[in-house]
Amino acid sequence: MENFTNERVLLQDLIDYAHKNINNYLVIIVGNVVGITPHENDFHADTSITDEYYTLSQFNRISSCLQKIGFDTLCYFDEMDFIHDVLTHRIRNNYPQKFIVLNFAQKGLVRGRKSLVPAFCEMNNILHTNSNAFACSFAREKYYWGLCLRGLQKTPEGWLYDNIADDWVAGEPPKDIKVISKLCNQSSSIGLESQDSVFIYGNDTKEKIISLSHKYDQPVLVQECISGKEVEVPVFFDGKTAFCLPPSGINIKNDCVLEDKILTNDLRCHGGFTLFDFDEKFPNESQEIKKRTIEIVKLLDMQGVCRVDYRIDASGDAYVIDINCNPHLTETSSVYKGFKYLGMEDYSNTLLAILGLTVKRAEISWVKI
C-alpha cells in the first residue's frame, strides 16, 4: 500500500494557502438544493433531475464550515440569481473582497447545464472552482469523450442511439454481447433504473433502448459491459501539477467485486452502497489507475478537483467508464473519503484544499482575479 506522503504535503500546502487568503476572498457558494431550487422542467420518468442536487443539510454543512474557518460566504440556490446579482453589481456593492465561486450548480435538463456558471465567471473575470466551460460540457458527452480516449486509454466499446434521428449514429452493437444502456449526458446514475440496464443485446432488446431514449428525450449510450470491480479516482490538477487522492472502490451488498452488478439510481440515492479504500485492498491496480487518471485529466483539460471512474475486469484491465469535472464534495463522496484515507478527515481540509488550489491555479493561468 502506498503511503501518500507527497500527496499529504501537497494538500497541506493548499490548505495553508487557503488560510493565508481568508481575508482576501468572499466565497460565493452556487449550487442546487432539493426542495429549494426551482425546477420548472423534469424528466417524465422514474428518476428526477433533483437526484443530482445537494440536500439543504449538505449545503449548510459547506457554508457553516467555511464560516467557522473565517471566510465570508454568500449562498445562492439558483445560478440565475447569482448571475443577476453579478450583472446588477449587487454583490460588488456590498463586498469589497475578491470573489471565489464554489460551484456545484447544474439546474435544468439541457446537456450543457454544468457549463453555465464556469462560462459566466470566465466572461466576467470571476475566479471559480474546477474546470472551464468546455471541459464541463465535453465531460457530459460520454460517447464522444470515449471516442477521444480510444486508442490512448482502455474504454468499453460503445454505440450511440440518437433520439432525434431515431437511429444509431454509427452502427448498432453486434448481437449476443453483454451491454449496459445508459443516458449519454447524465450522471448520478440517472436513467440506470434497475439491474436490467445490463442485458444481452439482440433484436428483442433494441426496443428497450429506444424506450429509454424517448422516456428521457435524449441519446442513449450502449456500452460493452465490463464485469468486475468499480472504482472512483479523485484528482487535483492546477494546470501544472496533478496528483490523485486514494481511490474509492464501490461495495454493493458486501461485494467489492461487483461482477455485473451496477450502481443504479435507487442504490445511489438511498445509500445502497458503500465506499472502501481501494488502494489498501488492491494496491497494484490502484497504482496503475492513478497513473492513467493523471494522463486523462491532462489530455481532456480537466482542472481543479475532478474524478475518473473505472471498471476493472478479472484480468486486471481497467476501463474508463465515466469522467466528472465537478464531483460532489459531501462527506459521503469519494473526494472526502480520499482525505479520510489520508488521515485528514476534518471536513474543513477538503474545502480548504479546493479553495487553495483554485487561488493557486489562477496565479498560473489567464484568469484575472
The CATH class of 5-141+227-363 is: alpha beta
pLDDT given for residue 145 in this prediction: 94
* 3-state SS class at 7: helix
Q: What is the CATH number of domain 157-224?
A: 3.30.1490
Task: Give the pLDDT score at 369.
Answer: 40
Residues of the chain with pLDDT under 70: 1-2, 43-46, 365-369
Helices (H), ranges, 150-255: 206-216
- What pTM did the predictor assign? 0.94
At residue 8, the pLDDT reads 95
Give the span between the Cα atoms of 345 and 339, in whole angstroms. Answer: 6
Beta bridge partners of 277: 248
In DSSP notation, 64-133 reads HHHHHHT-EEEEESSHHHHHHHHHTTTTTTT--SEEEEEEE---SSSTTGGGHHHHHHHHTT-EESS--H
> What is residue 2's predicted lDDT score, i.e. its pLDDT?
66
Write down the pLDDT at residue 78.
Answer: 94
Measuring CA to CA, which residue among 138, 78, 75, 135 is closest to residue 106?
Answer: 78
pLDDT score at 151: 86
What are the strands, taking DSSP E only, across the chain? Answer: 25-31, 72-76, 98-104, 127-128, 158-162, 167-168, 178-183, 198-200, 220-224, 229-237, 242-244, 248-251, 274-277, 304-312, 318-324
Q: What is the DSSP letter of 174?
A: P
The owner of cell 489530455 is: 299
* Three-state DSSP state, 279: helix
Provide the residue ranges of all domains of the chain, joining segments of one domain with +: 5-141+227-363, 157-224
Asked if residues 31 and 362 have their Cβ atoms less than 8 Å apart, the reply is no
Model pLDDT, residue 368? 43
CB contact at 8 A, 235 and 305: yes
